[in-house]
Amino acid sequence: MSRPAIAHIRLDAFRHNYRVAKQCHGGKALAVIKANAYGHGAVHCAKSIEGEADGFAVACLEEALQLREAGISEPILLLEGFFEANELPDIDAIDCLIVVHAKWQLEILLSAKLAQPLQVWLKMDSGMHRVGLSPSEYVQAFKRLNGHKNVAKLVLMSHFANADNLSSDHTLQQIEVFQNTIHELKQAINVETSLANSAAILGWQQAMRLSDTKTRWSRPGIMLYGANPIVQSSQVHVLKPVMQLTSKIISIRNIKKGDSIGYGSIFTAERDTTVGVVACGYADGYPRSAITGTPMAVDGKMTRLIGCVSMDMLFVDLTDIPAASIGSQVELWGNQVAANDVAKAAGTIAYELFCNVKRVHFQYFDASNI
């Protein structure tokens, strides 16, 4: 038998979540599968909605090439566009859409010699202040790109900084900046727009009302993997977890009240304790920062992490699960244990947990009639 750490990936859940995203938003949806589909496997995820997805979004040309090589023919948007001018021939050859988020990209694109014009998603900095053109630069850039021989079509986009925070008015301010700026572009009234990430789809109907369903695009990412980025949200139940990370108990010992376990002896038993050792550690992507008390399930029963997570192993409290034995299944996150809850206990977000999963065996399931 091999090491029992497994990431079970439910592609039917991924497909379900894509449909939820489209339905909530009402327009077209680019499935964001950058970073190997947030650690889930980009080709598998893309294939599971092939023929149904309106398109995909990835971070860079290399990620797009992988999808094209696997036969994916839907539109693919490069969320950061190109990093160097010499990528343009390949981008053109595999027919990707590009984000233009900076003036240097604009200049390179306008002076490039392309085999065919590219579809450009022009990114505005409406308040996140990461990438994107400022509103005044944006209007200028739009005018230069619109009708240019290298530009097949223009889509107007921006990205939210705080859409996961329902009590912040920053998202409404960003919507207003975006709306006011594109209103200046008279020709742009019927131009396609793209604002909403997962948090906006789930929490900010205002982001959707800007344009009608035919011309608006969403860019759902994390919700496709079943994690709701809005912690206070009531809609969490409509999403299905895609990844279930499991392993097994490989050792059990009983320690006395006052005994400590593991590196740094950071956990000291407050009562006589049955300790299970699980074959999963931070080298598999389980966060080392997870604290004692982080939820975990053993043979379907909820319990907690104890002590310090090591590279290949971690400890689980089995005191109240007397039936647990060597080989008992442990869910680190997935169906019973919400990735969001583990992330919270580790001081991070589900995005990072998913992206970090490695070394474990990946097993794909698809109830394809769903």
Q: Give the binding site for ligand PLP (CB under 6 A).
A: 32, 34, 79, 159, 197-199, 219-222, 229
Max Cα-Cα span within the chain: 76
The whole-angstrom separation of Cα 335 and Cα 227 is 11
- Minimum distance of ligand PLP from residue 301's CB (angstroms): 32
End-to-end Cα separation, the chain, in angstroms: 32
- Minimum distance of ligand PLP from residue 300's CB (angstroms): 30
CA 46 to chain centre: 14
26-36 residues labelled b (16+ CB within 10 A) or e (exposed): bbbbbbbbbbb
Contact (Cβ atoms closer than 8 angstroms) between residue 120 and residue 98: yes
Query: With the C-alpha atoms ordered 202, 163, 25, 245, is the resulting torsion angle positive or negative?
Result: negative
Q: What angle separates helix 170-184 from helix 135-145, to the nearest 10 degrees?
A: 40
Q: 32 or 96: whose CB is closer to ligand PLP?
A: 32
Quick check: is 263 catalytic?
yes
Measured at the alpha carbon of residue 159, what is the angle toward residues 143 and 65, in degrees to the nearest 5? Answer: 85
Q: 34 or 44: whose CB is closer to ligand PLP?
A: 34
Which residue is at the shortest CB distance from ligand PLP?
221
- Minimum distance of ligand PLP from residue 198's CB (angstroms): 3
- Minimum distance of ligand PLP from residue 222's CB (angstroms): 4
The SS3 of residue 254 is strand
Task: Residue 8: name the closest of 352, 337, 334 by CA.
Answer: 334
Beta-bridge mates of residue 361: 6
Task: Residue 248: name the closest of 2, 32, 5 by CA.
Answer: 5
- Minimum distance of ligand PLP from residue 197's CB (angstroms): 4
Contact (Cβ atoms closer than 8 angstroms) between residue 249 and residue 327: yes
Torsion angle, alpha carbons of 192, 196, 202, 206, to 10: -70
Which of 143, 149, 214, 263 is an active site residue?
A: 263
- Minimum distance of ligand PLP from residue 135's CB (angstroms): 18
Q: 110 or 161: whose CB is closer to ligand PLP?
A: 161
Quick check: is 34 catalytic?
yes
Q: 101 or 248: whose CB is closer to ligand PLP?
A: 101
Q: 121 or 282: whose CB is closer to ligand PLP?
A: 121
DSSP label of 27 = S
Which of 22, 28, 34, 248 is an active site residue?
A: 34
> Where does 195-347 have alpha helices with state H?
198-203, 339-345
Q: 175 or 199: whose CB is closer to ligand PLP?
A: 199
Q: 57 or 277: whose CB is closer to ligand PLP?
A: 57
Query: With the C-alpha atoms ordered 226, 222, 194, 234, is the resulting torsion angle positive or negative?
Result: positive
Beta-bridge mates of residue 249: 278
Contact (Cβ atoms closer than 8 angstroms) between residue 284 and residue 318: no
- Minimum distance of ligand PLP from residue 117's CB (angstroms): 22
Contacts of 206 (CB under 8 A, 6+ apart): 171, 172, 175
Q: 130 or 256: whose CB is closer to ligand PLP?
A: 130
- Minimum distance of ligand PLP from residue 96's CB (angstroms): 15
What is the set of active-site residues? Answer: 34, 263
